[in-house]
Amino acid sequence: MDSFLFQGSVFLLAAVIAVPLAARLGLGSVLGYLLAGLVIGPGLGLVVDTADIQHFAEFGVVMMLFIIGLELEPRALWDMRHRLIGLGGLQILLTTSAILAGGLALGLAWQTALAVGLALALSSTAIVLQTLNEKNLMQTNGGRSAFSVLLTQDIAVIPMLVIFPLLSVTLFVSPADFLAKQGDSHAADAHHATMSLVEGLPGWAAALVTLGVIAAIILAGVYGARPLFRYIHAARLPEMFTAVALLIVIGIAFLMMLVGLSPALGTFLAGVVLANSEFRHELESDVEPFKGLLLGLFFITVGAGIDIDSLLAEPFVILGLALAVILIKGVILYGLGRAFGLRKRGLWLFTLGLAQAGEFGFVLVSFGQQQNVFPEALGGRMLLVIAMTMLITPLLFLFFDYLNKGFSRVAEGAEPEDTIDEEGPVLIAGIGRFGQIVNRLVRSAGHRTVVLDHDIKTIQLMRRFGVKGFFGDPTRPELLHAAGIESARVLVAALDDPKATTKLVAYARRIRPDIHIVARARDRTHVYALYQAGANDIVREMFDSSLRAGRYVLENVGMSEFEAAIAEETFYHHDRKTIQELAQLWDPSVPPGENAAYIARSKELERELEAELYTALIERGKQDAA
């Protein structure tokens, strides 16, 4: 226990010191974690054996993929199929082939060279996704393409684990040693037989059990999640939501391990199934803190596990091999990115972001050593090369930032959120150019407001002009509760990000069915999404200004001011009616240009508008004549 507490204290102290410092220097949190691990491991010798902790910390990757699945609807996953199969599959195939050729040129047996290629073809899901999320690059073309490749790689780990025993090379050991090793392996398998649902089954039976487990996860997510969450909600104990969120992640990870599949893949699938659940945001909020801490712990163990003695024994060889891996993968990724339509910053993000080897490479190398695929010396050298490529990756992202100055935003996690010490009847989320006007009008009329915004610079600027606001992410449930959403009469959702606005509206409507929600919409499609999320009044940010500009045009092409005003008012009321009708026909899974019913009704409403305008102007002419 003393040793456990000591190691826990060392890990947390290293993270608290190194990560904020790295973030302030613009290096990113991942490099901070890796450097912290280097210091407490090879540097000071405070941590020696990180294997057990690393297995625990790998749950950070599992939770991260669960959260990503929650944000990715099944329709979006289907839309990614070409990137998953084409881009991801070709990346693995071409990288494995290139490294296989290099291994053969260096004199390796073809089985060993193939195993090396498979292990090094994988990239680091943990580092890449964490960095993309920090820099708000996940929704860019390069970010989505990188995610597709990473997801394909996670799926590919399963057949790789099946292939590796077939690549066993017995020339490295004597026949007696090999038979003894096989006997030990069988004994170990027998010892763990109770922890597998497919051990000893014929291939067809194992496949049926595996498919059954996957189907059970999907069916439980579709039909069992809502009753479970309603049951937990009835207890009115917030910690129970956290408990059930952890139960879902850990339970599904355990089930996937029982059938020999990737836990990360299983939890990602569960997240996708639950993406349409009304409890999605609550799940995400509960799992997020654990994900962040465990991912940080994982990165620290990678840094602490680097064998400095072996690295110093042949530094140029290890560094040269690491750079060669990055160069080979980079060239292949660049070519594939161009072939799949990526250009400029998206292409460079895709290339530099995936050029490293990954954490699953550690798993495959260790498994390969057990299966006699790699000799001990080669396996140790590969572990060092993989770790070095992961250590270089944050520097590649910094190089990407240098190439794209002004493109990436520094993560705001280094700034502490404000403590909210007041409540008001009007809660305004977002104090940009839209929210500012709303706030000024409401306050000047004598009503108190509580302003939230996730941009610290905007909050600080507003305070200089005497407008008090609170820094924090308005989509976080705990922040909304602290701001008094339970007692507020009106919520103004005025965030710049349309997805964040929709997320905020949906959550607020679920916990406060009686609150009046005024929401800012980017465009007509966003209006429909907000309508379905439960907003009462939806204001398109450019609609009123465009309508006024149109009235000025009419006044200068022959209409009187009064006639132009009638046309403006008629258009305004007709558009409100149009939005309400078309919202019923809008399907988020079908593009508007492919929705036949939506298109037909839009054309009918446009003809009705022309008739209404004509009738209104005729009636006005009759009144003038009278």
At 241-265, the pLDDT tens digits run 788 888 888 888 888 888 877 677 7
Distance from the Cα of residue 538 to its chain's centroid: 28
585 to 124, 276, 532, 589: CA distances (angstroms): 42, 19, 11, 12
Q: What is the DSSP string of 190-220?
A: HHTGGG-SSTT--HHHHHHHHHHHHHHHHHI
Tell me which of 196 and 300 has the higher pLDDT.
300
Query: Going by C-beta distance under 8 Å and a sequence separation of 6 or more, which residues neighbour residue 345?
Result: 140, 142, 400, 403, 404, 407
Given a cut of 60, is residue 458 above it in pLDDT? yes
Is residue 66 a contact partner of residue 125, using CB atoms and an 8 Å limit?
Answer: no
Q: What is the mean pLDDT of residues 48-54?
A: 67
Tell me which of 74 and 177 has the higher pLDDT.
74
Q: Tell me: the pLDDT tens digits for 459-483?
A: 777 777 667 677 777 888 877 887 7
| Model pLDDT, residue 121 | 95
C-alpha to C-alpha distance for 623 and 455, rounded to whole angstroms: 54
Q: Tell me: the pLDDT tens digits for 188-211?
A: 444 444 467 777 777 677 778 888
For residue 519 the two structure tokens come to 């929401």
Q: Tell me: the pLDDT tens digits for 416-435?
A: 544 454 567 889 988 887 88
Q: What is the mean pLDDT of residues 52-63?
A: 71
Q: Which of 51-55, 234-238, 451-455 has the lowest mean pLDDT?
A: 51-55
Tell me which of 352 and 174 has the higher pLDDT.
352
| Model pLDDT, residue 327 | 96
Residue 398 is inside which H or E element, if any?
helix 376-403
Lookup result for tokens 């909050």: 459
| Model pLDDT, residue 187 | 40
C-alpha to C-alpha distance for 281 and 174, rounded to whole angstroms: 57
Q: Which of 150-154, 475-479, 525-529 has the lowest mean pLDDT?
A: 475-479
Q: What is the mean pLDDT of residues 112-136?
A: 88
Given a cut of 70, is residue 571 above it in pLDDT? yes
Q: What is the mean pLDDT of residues 298-313?
A: 81
- Band (pLDDT 50/70/90 cuts) for residue 319 is very high
Tell me which of 62 and 414 has the higher pLDDT.
62
Sheet order of strands, 449-453 included? 470-471, 449-453, 426-429, 490-493, 516-521, 537-540
**What is the gyration radius of the CA atoms in the chain, in angstroms?**
29
Q: What is the mean pLDDT of residues 510-530?
A: 88
Burial of 620 (0-12, 13-18, 19+ CB in 10 A): middle
Tell me which of 322 and 363 has the higher pLDDT.
322
Average pLDDT, the chain: 79
Tell me which of 17 and 616 has the higher pLDDT.
17
Q: What is the mean pLDDT of residues 82-111?
A: 91
Given a cut of 50, is residue 136 above it in pLDDT? yes
- Specify which of 77-86, 528-537, 600-609 reaches the highest per-range mean pLDDT: 528-537
| Model pLDDT, residue 336 | 94
Given a cut of 60, is residue 602 above it in pLDDT? yes
Query: Going by C-beta distance under 8 Å and a sequence separation of 6 or more, which residues neighbour residue 468?
Result: 451, 462
| Model pLDDT, residue 47 | 75
For residue 235 the two structure tokens come to 């207890």
| Model pLDDT, residue 405 | 64
Distance from the Cα of residue 418 to its chain's centroid: 25
